[in-house]
Each structure stands twice: as structure tokens, then as C-alpha cells.
Amino acid sequence: MRRRALALALALPAVLAGCASASSGTHAAAGAPRLSVTGAYIPLPSMPDMAAGYFVLHNDGDKAATLTGVTSPGAQSVSMHQSTASTMVDLPTVQVPAHGTVTFARGGRHLMLMGLDPAPKVGARVELNLRFDDAAPVTVQATVQPLTYQPGQ
Ligand SMILES: [Cu+2]
């Protein structure tokens, strides 16, 4: 019986994140995600205990990012959900491709905010803090809109 030497060639991809920049704000190193949020709103909920949140998340950078969660100082908890035909499921993370856009909108991905305090009123703003595993957090003010509000294109 012969012993065979297995030559394992481990081709490890170079996944070095070039996040050497300590600057905050809009500056980002080349090859990093560049994230921004537009159109954040919360339809006025019929019950103050539970509201949906919608927004468009942009990544103008050369590197993908992963949204790992959202928090709000105005809510007890915030979850990321995906609506399906009959129910909705938790989204543990959401991928934001390089030079891509991810939309949270009615009938699809959405935030579910529980325990809003103070109770939302039309025109009020609710701070949302988006956290990423590989990029700086993004804070946005979501405007409480009438229930029938439709975002413009
Ligand atoms: Cu939901």
C-alpha cells in the first residue's frame, strides 16, 4: 500500500479591508463601502406599539457592506423583516452590493419598530441607527408620514 501525499493548495483570497482611515464623516478610503440613506419614513401606525420603517440604502463605494441591524433611541426594538405572500420573516443581515442600492419598501423589506416612545405623530422624526459589520454606522432621521404616504420616485 502506498501513502499518498496530498498537496493542499489553499488559495486564500486576499480579503484585507483597507480601513486605515480614522476620519469620520463622508471621507472613505478607496475600496471601502460608501453608505448613505435617503427617503426614510415611517407610516403613521394605527397602534403606537408597532410601526414599519422604509428607506433606500445606497452604497457608492467599491466594496460591498452588510447591514447587521438597526436600532433607534425612540423604539424598544427594531427588527429587519422581509414580507412574503402570507407572512414575514426575519432578516438577520442585508447585503448592500458595491455601487448598489437596497430598498426597504411596502410589501418587501421593512423595519419593524416596537414600543415607540413617544408615540409617533405625523411630521415627527425618529432616529434610526444602521449598523454594518464592515463600515461605520449610519444615522438617519425618519419622518413620520400619513398612512397613505407614497414616496416619490
Ligand atoms: Cu415585519
Mean pLDDT score of the chain? 84
Strand partners, 139: 129
pTM beyond 0.85: the answer is no
Span from the CA of 84 to the centroid of ligand 1 (angstroms):
10
**Contact status, residue 80 vs residue 111, Cβ threshold 8 Å:** yes
Does CATH place domain 35-145 in 3.40.190.10?
no
Span from the CA of 100 to the centroid of ligand 1 (angstroms):
23
Terminal-to-terminal C-alpha distance of the chain: 71
Annotated domain spans of the chain: 35-145
pLDDT band (50, 70, 90) for residue 29: low
C-alpha cell at 13: 483570497
Span from the CA of 91 to the centroid of ligand 1 (angstroms):
10
Greater confidence (102 vs 8) lies with 102
C-alpha cell at 115: 414600543
Percent with pLDDT over 70 in the chain: 80
Q: Give the model's pLDDT for residue 134.
A: 85
Span from the CA of 111 to the centroid of ligand 1 (angstroms):
6
Looking up cell 441591524, which residue turns up?
A: 69
Percent with pLDDT over 90 in the chain: 73
Model confidence pLDDT, tens digit, residues 43-67? 999 887 899 999 999 999 999 999 9
C-alpha cell at 20: 486605515
Residue 15 has pLDDT above 70, yes or no: no
Q: Give the model's pLDDT for residue 7.
A: 36
pLDDT band (50, 70, 90) for residue 14: very low
One-letter amino acid at 10 equals L
The mean pLDDT of 114-132, rounded to a whole number, is: 96
